[in-house]
Structure 1
Amino acid sequence: MRVNASNAAALTISTAYPGHSDPKLEKDLVVNLGSRLHPEYYPMSVCHIVKGQNYRPKLRGELTSQMIVQAQVPPDRSCAYITEEAFKVIGFDPRAQTAQLLDPDLTLASTKGRILLPPVVSYHEKTASVSNGTWNVNDKGRYSRGGAAAKWAVLPIGDISEHWATWKSFFQRLHGLMNRRGFVHSNQAPTFLTAAPGPGEGLSREGLRTNFTKLRREGYSLLFVLLPNEQAEPYNMVKAASDIDVGIHTVCIARSKITTEKRKDPRDPTGYRYDGQYWDNILLKANLKRGGINHTLSFPTSTILSHWNATVVGLDVTHPPPGAGAQSKSIVGMVASVGRDLAQWPATICFQPREDMEIVTNMQCFRDLLEPHLRRYKKHNTKYPDVLIVYRDGVSEGQYNHVIDLEKPQIQTVCEEVYRADNRPPPKLSIIVVGKRHHTRFFTDEKKQNPVPGTVVDRPITHNHRWEFYLQAHKPIRGTARPAHYVVVHDEFFGPTFNNPENKANRARLGQPNHPALQNAADVLESFTHTMSYALGRSTRSIGVCTPARLADKVCDRARCYVNAGLKEPEIHIADAVKDTMFYI
């Protein structure tokens, strides 16, 4: 049996390791310092952990947060690390004679970029003021459209008697916020249900399934579930029972995020400060789950969705964590827009052997992923899309050819099969790979700060024979911004439609034929991708990677929650009541 540091505490060794006869080492915890085929077990009492090693198992939520805070370095410090301290680390002395012979440039490389204008963000005929990629919903009143009417309730996991007054007050305020925002509901007042068992009191997926089924029969369609903490186990069970077993929308709220020391306020009768922005964010999720539209976007390239009848697709693959076992499979997640408002992004999931790595090689997997989106699009728009714009996340530079040679033909085959039955030609296909794990950073000349959101660089640091660009669409909360890297690996739409001189009429359909930022296919794609970074309905700020790629990643995370809750691959089929909305947020 292989033993590692994460499970060594559950195992003991009955005799001292070879060469030692110290009785103190008997019944000691052991760790395998060999391999799976050739294990070498040593007592942990004679081992010590060397500092600075990578820790590969998954961290707990609070440890992940602490790690992120420690890793975030301001941009001016990042510049100093690169231009000063990095040379010391590699043992390079600029004053040495060898350095003078090499004559290195110790400054950052200089390049030119452009700043794209953000889209117009609107809430129910009121325009939001966008500044540095952020805006505020507080003074905008109502959402663009409320979803289906919801009978909602609050379901605590475990005992909440200690902070009962706090929760009652906060959800009464949330009820008022629903009325101001135009959230459609049937409740005259917040409904607090009987507390479900806590983790120490027998919380199980079966118990939650029974509870959720009873509530759905009573007419409830939306539950605000109060979790005792931010641990993954109760969250996984809640989502598995609600999304898969029953089909009822849930919004999980960690009680520990509200009743913490930093939120205490002696001036408030409840003893805790009411954070209006936090509860507005909660309601943004709830409105999307009910099929609503929080904000709408107005942008020149929007006619790609209307005149050219295009749909936007996000695709990602995630792998099981280290130590998950050889039988654990990779998860493939796909989302696709169904309307021109870019509010709803339904999802599909499939599994594949982890040996396939990041590339989807199974044709049936693509059928399960893509066909439902094509048919859903036709249901909402009366016909199949004429253009598929796929943002492919999760592949490295060495796998671009695999996407072209293996995934592209399968997508085209699925489209041909579906469209043939409708006597229509297959759609034009464009595939853009989204890269996040790279080492390119941009700084402003003056203060060595992060560039403003909308900064795009597509020359001269990009590849000579590849269509690619870097786009920083967001303002980081802290630290140095990392731009997203977009590489066009296949294009049947943007280039043929907007590049040639005779395509001036097509550019005119964008509404601004003489706009200096929309004069060719690269301009159009960059502007369109930039707008996609503002389409995440649960957020009031632009995000670092475009929304379809971000949501495809979240779909994979949600599917991993189902697996961790004990669901087997054949069981994971999204319930009809939640499959057409953003169930995964």
Structure 2
Amino acid sequence: MSDNANRGGRGGRGGFRGDRGGDRGGRGGGRGGNRSRGDSQSGRGGGHLRGGYQSRGGDQARGGGPPRGGGGFRGGPSVDMAVRGGNPDNTPPETGGVYLRDKPILAPDASVTNAENTLVQQTKGKIIDGMPGRTGYGTKGRVIVLRTNYFQLQTAFETNNPEAPLYRYDVDITGDVSRPKRRRLLSQIVADARFNGVSVATDGARIIVTTAKIELGSWATGDSMLLADPSATSPDATGTVPAHVQAARARYTIRFKVDYITSYTLSQMISYLRSTSATAIYDARGDLIQLLNIIMCKRPSTIGDVTAVAGNKFYPNQVHPGKKYMALGGGLTALRGYYSSVRPAVGRILLNLNVSTGAFYNNDSIITLISQSGKGSLSLQEAFIRMLKVEVSYKPSKGDAFTKVKTIIGFAPGPDKKALKRKRFGNSKETRFSYTDASTGKVIDTSVFDYFRTHHGITLAQPDRPVLNVGTRADPQYVPQELCKVLPGQRYGRLLSGDQTTNMLAFAARYPNKNAQSIVDEGLRLMGLQHPDINLQALTVQPFGFSVKTEMLTVPGRILPTPQVKYGKATVNVRNGSWNCDKQTFVRAARFANWAALKLDIGNTPAMVESPNPENLRERDMKNAPGTIDELARYLRNYGIIMGTYGGLGSRRLLETTIENRDANDKILIEIFEFQKKKGCNMLFIVLAKVDKWLYARIKVFGDTKYGIHTICAVGSKLQKGKNQGMYMGNLALKFNIKGGGVNHTVPGAMIAPMDEKTMLMGIDVTHPSPGSSAGAPSIACVVASEDHFLCQWPGSIRKQKGKQEMVGEERRDGDMVNGLVEMVIERLRHWQKKHSNALPAKIIVYRDGVSEGQYALVLEKELPSFETAFKQLYGAQQKWPKMAIIVVGKRHHTRFYPTKQEDADYNERAPDRSSWNCIPGTVVDRGITGRTYHEFYLQAHQGLQGTARSAHYVVIKDDLKFTADALEQLTHNLCYLFSRATKAVSVVPPAYYADILAERGRAYLFTTLQEDHGVSEGSLVSGGGDEWDGSVHPDLRNSTWYV
């Protein structure tokens, strides 16, 4: 755990957080003692590492053949997040390089550049759709050409061919109909004879798009349709339809109405995108892009062995002959697929195509899957398989065997016998139900075991296993486990374990050139846009009036100048976004009046080696525990940190950290902290026996919120490891100095006008409950802010708010509505005031994390008024308010860039095997793929050491400061070198990064509620959690950067 001192990338928050010191895809942490690099754990993302996450590389996916039908989409809400590509475990190692190195480099489209230059003259200084127009394009830095994973759509209008309108219809379904039933209904509707001779596509939920107007007939006023049930039974020998079949048909008969909405022509969209007027309007642009996405996704969504997730991610699943996969362990498999999105840009419509990697359940028998999961308790097993679709094999007393598809609701409840202690789950002999005999009319009470033996001739081989409920809680239907097999292509949407995360990243890590090749080859083929033998587009998209060019676009980019980095003694050499702080002193040293160390054993596992066994440890590793702490103190002093009175090395032993022992372990932790508090300790260094997420979370709860003692945790095996110990100690020193109020390093000239020393930087983020969190679990909202011109200390404010609420604002607290954002902004401004002789900042720049493209306006509508309320309280009249800029930071996008020349790539001739072939740190793109009017840009500030690096996307949604493109791009780049917990540039600007880290700390405070991922609500499973956190931080810490 090491208090994540060595984090080099933003890992998933699930089983693994990743080394977060540097780039989110690189190696970790600062280089304290020597030039050796840090760890190479490499997750990215901002959300939790769940069972699907967007990857940067990919491999083969099956394409070919005509599309099947007009069907809809599968899948549910997306929880995927972008990571790297990877190569299958059965292929030889891949080699890096420049994609299409020996091919001519097509120049970026000059007509687009000219249109951008003309349009920006109209957008400068204007407010367009409530947001500031683009002020210009950047010019600073060395100009380069990059490829990007975008492909141009070419309409019939653009090629001077006749175009046909696209017609939209909406299907209004009566009643509460599940998404799977909606998809089946829409698929049957578009297969109707009314659509003969017409090209048609559907989103499987509501929308149908056609190339001709159809006669609706009875559909216009209301009709019904019986869904085809592939597992339905036939009439018996007498021709009688059984009563239960009649009831099923009634349930599967759905009433609906079809409404014609309107028609669109692609020429209207192209004319709008080509317009050089800032005030040009095409109100239907969003609706038309939606239809184009539906058309684009028709092909992969109708291939039976391809799983669709969220409508635009497609995974060739376990039964697909061209699948790319890797076993993750724990009953899960990683599958590689593709993400697709149609987007408007200046003068043209583009397709963004990226590789997606997700975790899926193994398609084995349910008994095998449960065994593979490694879940020890029945409660965890039930949570793991809940809502899985299984194929149930039946054998009736008469007739042929048949199967049905069912959804697991959970295990059957145990027998309710007053004389015995109630079992939570029942097996096939214990689980009983009643049914009416069709021949006699009698009500018969029976067990599941007896029913299957009598009615299906099946004597269960494993009757002691819990029975599955495949009905509902109110109307259960029971089947034995041994008759069920998991259907392929079912995505796992919860947190991955640490080992699964490691395997996922190993599968996903690919060089950028291989990533690009996969997108162009297998990705386009899967989407129905390319085939070696036939013109596949003639069957897929051309009937709808457009085609897609199959070469990646090239766009202009620039490499910005590298900032200088200065420590107390000297300016250090920065190379590829990294530097070494060995033999340096910090700019401003922290001071700890009283500190102590604690060795925390767990069960029989010691935290530190006190009497090393020469047979197991090399001589350089043979350091006893007190000597190791002395060595740490020496490193801290060498960096200039003033360590006051040392309270010595204590030792305590916890019980094994099982759920049953949590209350007892909490008592031990409370004793530890109460003892240290009485001694006046303000920094406690804790050496842990092993990584344990619950224990780490509890230490932070007690230290941060209950007792006000800074804590830093390290795992003993890492702390005592001779190799690279200097680097590890240096990483710890970075954190000691930040927590103690110090300044690690500075970037001379980091502030670029209009920013100055009277400018406060803020970061805002919100993190939400993960799948499997407790019912009613809250979201965590955070605001961090700078306190001076050093930009090293980032005290923060944190609040709980309603779960899944993205905007920070009003919440109900103690019966009253309270605006949490107003409170947090005031807290940060008051703290600035104390640091600046009662003066408030004259300017505020906010970097807002975690907001999707569709929510930009919501930030201005919901969050900006909270700032204004705070300003009114502290500044008074509006003319005294600070000037303000709000910049949204996007991390979860699917845009990737690829160098076109070796000199523009991260390539080291002396160490080719350590070359990533990514873009060079400082690469910025603000042309070619950006929108018409917004001030936006992509910046890769960090060195992407593995896989395909992902730039951060910045969009200005408010700007009283009138930033030029060059000023904002260089400022943001400079700030990425001021992340104090690392000796390298980070991929996301520090205000947003720190807000994300603080939000993660909030998740630790609510570990049982948010992170445990039991998926169950029984109180017996959350012993030791209770009311984990009241939302506050101890007063002794709240104005420090305690959370790093």
- The question of a shared fold, defined as TM-score above 0.5 by the shorter chain, is answered with yes
Alignment deviations for residues 298-340 of structure 1 (CA, whole Å, 9 cap, x no partner): 1253565535x11111111111111223321111011111111
Q: What amino acid does structure 2 have at the position aligned with 1:120? A: Q
- Consecutive unaligned residues in structure 1, runs of 5 or more: 264-271, 496-520
Q: Please say if residues 494 and 524 of structure 1, whose CA atoms lie closer than 8 Å, have aligned partners that are also in contact.
A: no
1:573 corresponds to: 1032
1:191 to 648, 666, 673: 648
Whether 2:973 is the aligned partner of 1:491: answer no
Task: Decide whether aligned partners of structure 1 residues 43 and 561 sit closer, same or farther in structure 2, where only a CA change above 3 A counts.
Answer: farther
Whether 2:672 is the aligned partner of 1:208: answer no
Deviates more, 1:238-247 or 1:557-566: 557-566
Q: What amino acid does structure 1 have at the position aligned with 2:791? A: L
1:518 corresponds to: none
1:416 corresponds to: 872
Match runs of 1:324-339 below 5 Å: 324-339=773-788
Task: Decide whether aligned partners of structure 1 residues 279 and 355 sit closer, same or farther in structure 2, where only a CA change above 3 A counts.
Answer: closer
Helix, strand or coil: the match of 2:554? coil
1:407 to 863, 882, 892: 863
Match runs of 1:224-239 below 5 Å: 224-239=685-700
1:286 to 736, 742, 748: 736
Q: Please say if residues 530 and 550 of structure 2, whose CA atoms lie closer than 8 Å, have aligned partners that are also in contact.
A: no
Match runs of 1:554-565 below 5 Å: 554-564=997-1007
Q: What amino acid does structure 2 have at the position aligned with 1:142? A: T
Whether 2:535 is the aligned partner of 1:156: answer no
Task: Decide whether aligned partners of structure 1 residues 539 and 567 sit closer, same or farther in structure 2, where only a CA change above 3 A counts.
Answer: farther
2:771 corresponds to: 322
Percent identical among aligned pairs is: 32
Match runs of 1:340-489 below 5 Å: 340-358=789-807, 360-362=809-811, 364-382=819-837, 383-420=839-876, 425-447=880-902, 449-489=917-957
2:558 corresponds to: 114
Q: What amino acid does structure 2 have at the position aligned with 1:412? A: E
Deviates more, 1:141-150 or 1:231-240: 141-150
Task: Decide whether aligned partners of structure 1 residues 160 and 492 sit closer, same or farther in structure 2, where only a CA change above 3 A counts.
Answer: same
Whether 2:629 is the aligned partner of 1:171: answer yes
- 2: distance between equivalents of 1:173 and 1:489? 49
- 1: distance between equivalents of 2:501 and 2:652? 30
1:438 deviates by 1.1
Whether 2:963 is the aligned partner of 1:524: answer no
1:584 deviates by 1.1
Q: Which structure has greater helix proportion?
A: 1
Helix, strand or coil: the match of 1:112? strand
Alignment deviations for residues 38-91 of structure 1 (CA, whole Å, 9 cap, x no partner): 765654443344555422222223332332232222112111111222234345
- Consecutive unaligned residues in structure 2, runs of 5 or more: 1-378, 387-409, 412-423, 432-446, 454-458, 611-622, 812-817, 906-916, 1009-1024
- Cα RMSD of the aligned pairs, angstroms, is 2.9
Give the number of equivalent residue pairs.
545
Q: Which structure has greater strand proportion?
A: 2
Helix, strand or coil: the match of 1:390? strand
Q: Please say if residues 358 and 394 of structure 1, whose CA atoms lie closer than 8 Å, have aligned partners that are also in contact.
A: no
Helix, strand or coil: the match of 1:494? coil
- 2: distance between equivalents of 1:470 and 1:240? 37
Helix, strand or coil: the match of 2:784? strand
Q: Please say if residues 230 and 256 of structure 1, whose CA atoms lie closer than 8 Å, have aligned partners that are also in contact.
A: no
Deviates more, 1:224-233 or 1:449-458: 224-233
Q: Please say if residues 394 and 434 of structure 1, whose CA atoms lie closer than 8 Å, have aligned partners that are also in contact.
A: yes
2:35 corresponds to: none
Q: What amino acid does structure 2 have at the position aligned with 1:137? A: C
2:310 corresponds to: none
Alignment deviations for residues 369-392 of structure 1 (CA, whole Å, 9 cap, x no partner): 211100000100121111111111
1:125 deviates by 3.3
2:483 to 46, 67, 83: 46
- 2: distance between equivalents of 1:243 and 1:30? 45
Q: What amino acid does structure 1 have at the position aligned with 2:1043? A: Y
Q: Please say if residues 204 and 237 of structure 1, whose CA atoms lie closer than 8 Å, have aligned partners that are also in contact.
A: no
Helix, strand or coil: the match of 1:298? coil
Task: Please say which structure displays the higher CA radius of gyration.
Answer: 2
2:988 corresponds to: 545
Q: Please say if residues 224 and 252 of structure 1, whose CA atoms lie closer than 8 Å, have aligned partners that are also in contact.
A: yes
Q: Please say if residues 338 and 376 of structure 1, whose CA atoms lie closer than 8 Å, have aligned partners that are also in contact.
A: yes
- 1: distance between equivalents of 2:892 and 2:508? 15
1:412 deviates by 1.4
Task: Decide whether aligned partners of structure 1 residues 38 and 581 sit closer, same or farther in structure 2, where only a CA change above 3 A counts.
Answer: farther
Task: Decide whether aligned partners of structure 1 residues 355 and 544 sit closer, same or farther in structure 2, where only a CA change above 3 A counts.
Answer: closer
Task: Decide whether aligned partners of structure 1 residues 440 and 149 sit closer, same or farther in structure 2, where only a CA change above 3 A counts.
Answer: same
2:452 to 2, 20, 31: 20
1:510 corresponds to: none
Q: Please say if residues 301 and 527 of structure 1, whose CA atoms lie closer than 8 Å, have aligned partners that are also in contact.
A: no
1:244 corresponds to: 705
2:495 corresponds to: 58
Alignment deviations for residues 384-443 of structure 1 (CA, whole Å, 9 cap, x no partner): 11111111111111111111111111221222122229x972212211111111110011
- 1: distance between equivalents of 2:608 and 2:635? 25
Helix, strand or coil: the match of 1:5? helix
Q: Please say if residues 316 and 553 of structure 1, whose CA atoms lie closer than 8 Å, have aligned partners that are also in contact.
A: yes
1:355 deviates by 4.8
Q: Please say if residues 564 and 748 of structure 2, whose CA atoms lie closer than 8 Å, have aligned partners that are also in contact.
A: yes
Alignment deviations for residues 90-143 of structure 1 (CA, whole Å, 9 cap, x no partner): 45544444259778543321001111123221110311111111111114x211
Output the TM-score relative to the length of structure 1: 0.86
Task: Decide whether aligned partners of structure 1 residues 459 and 162 sit closer, same or farther in structure 2, where only a CA change above 3 A counts.
Answer: closer
- 1: distance between equivalents of 2:474 and 2:713? 43
Task: Decide whether aligned partners of structure 1 residues 396 and 100 sit closer, same or farther in structure 2, where only a CA change above 3 A counts.
Answer: closer
Q: Please say if residues 529 and 537 of structure 2, whose CA atoms lie closer than 8 Å, have aligned partners that are also in contact.
A: no
